[in-house]
Structure 1
Amino acid sequence: MKKIIIFLQIIAIGILSFSCTRMYNSNEVSVYDTNTVLTYEEGVVEDIKPVIIKDDGSGTFIGAAIGAVLGSFIGEGKATSLSTLLGGLVGAYAGNQLDKANAEELFIKLDNSRKIVVIVKGVNIQKGDRVRIIKEGNKIVRVERIT
């Protein structure tokens, strides 16, 4: 029983650390954004609605792989196969749930009076904040609070 609890904790830590590295952070830029001309617009956040971004399958896959590997260390003989299968299933479920990202739908009134909606994750923006929306064409690269 103790091995199973340790096993589940290791799965949770592994998947959590993977999921957290994928969270949007306005201080980090993608290597693909370098040597590119980006544009920006500024405005005020009029409203915020919490949304959940569904798993694209990567969290499920990685969770299953980590769970299966860790599960293979538990048990002996046929029990190893069962614990590997169970570990994969638990890991897949945990990965799917953790890869669902909590995000925010920001309703922004731009300085030119145009209104837009932007979905972002991992930023600390409140209603009434002035923001800068950095774009490449119509693709949002980053949303930053202007201090």
Structure 2
Amino acid sequence: MKRRIAVLELIILVAAAIGLWLARPQAPRVVDAGSAFLAIRGHGWLAPPADTPLVGVGLDGTLVLITDACVGLRQGLPEAGSHHVMLLWPSDTYVEGEGADIVIRSGGRSLRIGDDISGGTSGTTVFPEVQALLPERCAKVTLQDFALDG
């Protein structure tokens, strides 16, 4: 009986350690995929709701490389004086490939430069912890938090 209790306690301890490891904080990061840079939010200690933007403002356009380097969104037609923002992607975003050929995996979707996308934003454009990580080519581009529409 004591052995069964000890085994059960060990299983609970291992499960708790794995849970804490999975819930560990992740710092925001900038992924360098060749000549393309992607900004990604981090998430806090055991606080997933803080990682989720308030999706209240619609944001749509074409996925582009701003200054040939910063993964962002072009709103409007290029010849009509379009508006560009560098997107700050959710923490579960991953990048494969390099440069203009990158594939962005976020929210269960795969996206490429040139794809038309839509999503939401809280409207926040100031992220000092992320902006400090950006390369010089992206430092002056407006950064906008973003979550894809389902």
- TM interval, shorter chain, is 0.3 to 0.5
Flag the structure with higher helix content.
1
Query: Considering only CA atoms, is the larger Rg found in Structure 1 or Structure 2?
Result: 1
Greater RCO structure (CA 8 Å; 6+ sep): 1
What TM-score do you get using the length of structure 1 for normalisation?
A: 0.35
Flag the structure with higher strand content.
2
